[in-house]
Structure 1
Amino acid sequence: MTEPLLDSYRSSLSGWLRGTAVGLGTILLGIAGFAILIAKAGNWGAWPLLLTLLALVIVFAKWLQTMAAKYELTSERLIVRRGIIFKSIDEIELYRIKDVRIDFTLLNQWVGIGTVTITSSDETTRINELKMRHIGEAQARRENLRRLVDSARRQRGVREIDMVHEDL
């Protein structure tokens, strides 16, 4: 890779915890287990501790998922690095990107995360879209990516033509 790295990011674990119903539920599960353990430890046995342990296991699993995917943006490519033990690297040429969409819930908006979805003619996303979930500063990153896609297309002289075939 000869071009400089412009941005590097992962899914946001703290954004997921604060900005999704499942994340908030996980926090509540852990707090409830801890609170019950302190308030009425003798009556509940080990169940409160198990609730807190379950919450920690969920957070650890989400952390592993977060660490398993990294996205790097240069002026010519979006590089997708996946895996912890077995790794793969995919590169999407920016001029091949057809659409960059952002989706977010009300909770996502409050904490500044979103799902950035990319559709392109590149082999990486030809069949399935690339979904980057729980991305911090998602709106700003989407706009930056859009600007870089337009610039890469202009530099290569690429124009998109949609062919529509209608049966008569």
Structure 2
Amino acid sequence: MSEEKNVWLGTPSQVVNLGSYILLGLFFWLVIPLFVILWKWLDVKNTKYELTTERIRTRHGILNKETDELELYRVRDYKLEQPFFLRMFSLGNIILETSDRSHPTIVIKAISNGEELREKLRTHVEACRTKKNVREVDFE
């Protein structure tokens, strides 16, 4: 069996919190908004995405850490979403529809080079399916 290798590592951009930063920044003289800003910043800072040749790992959490893994052969569909606000910063979201029961939809939020990552994902999903001899079948 071949060894699993890292293909891509990334984190979401802090741009996702820009609206909150601006709104809460208006009340900078209050202590609670500063803690909320810090918490939101830490939340994004502690979210890590890792794409390997066999799976996608999502690590998140500030006090309690959680790691979610998804085998690539379970990915059914991938979509790149670039809302206007994110496009202004050359960012996008990748939405994965999966056959995993615990996580049927996974969103990789606010990442740069979304098109390039989507193509890497597609390539490795197909390679993983071929390697494991898995076929996607829809029943309606």
Secondary structure, in 3 states, of the residue corresponding to 2:88?
A: helix
Higher percent of residues as helix:
1
Q: Mark the CA change 1:62 to 1:84 in structure 2 (over 3 Å): closer, same or farther.
A: closer
Higher percent of residues as strand:
2
Q: Which residue of 2 aligns with 1:125?
A: 103
Q: Which residue of 2 aligns with 1:144?
A: 120
Q: CA deviation at 1:24?
A: 5.2
Pair 1:154 & 2:127 matched: no
User: Residue by residue, what CA displacement relative to the aligned partner does 1:109-135 show, whole Å, maximum 9, x if unpaired?
Assistant: 121111211111124413xx1122212
Q: CA deviation at 1:61?
A: 2.9
Total equivalences in the alignment: 138
Q: Which residue of 2 aligns with 1:83?
A: 61
* Maintained 8 Å contact 2:20/2:37: no
Structure 1 unaligned regions, length at least 5: 18-22, 34-47
* Maintained 8 Å contact 1:103/1:114: yes
Q: Which residue of 2 aligns with 1:9?
A: 10
1:62-101 equivalences under 5 Å are 62-101=40-79
Q: Which segments of structure 1 move beyond 3 Å, counting only runs of 4 or more?
A: 24-30, 56-59
Q: Mark the CA change 1:124 to 1:9 in structure 2 (over 3 Å): closer, same or farther.
A: farther
User: Residue by residue, what CA displacement relative to the aligned partner does 1:44-102 show, whole Å, maximum 9, x if unpaired?
Assistant: xxxx7528x94x55542321121232111110010111223222222111011001112
* Maintained 8 Å contact 1:9/1:72: yes
* Maintained 8 Å contact 1:78/1:93: yes
After TM superposition, the score normalised by the length of structure 2 is 0.80
Matched residue type, 1:50: W
Greater radius of gyration (CA)? 1
Pair 1:50 & 2:51 matched: no
* Maintained 8 Å contact 2:80/2:92: yes
* Maintained 8 Å contact 1:97/1:118: yes
Amino-acid identity (%): 31
Matches of 2:101 and 2:23 in 1, distance apart?
A: 41
Matches of 1:24 and 1:83 in 2, distance apart?
A: 21
Structure 2 unaligned regions, length at least 5: none
Report the aligned-residue RMSD: 2.5
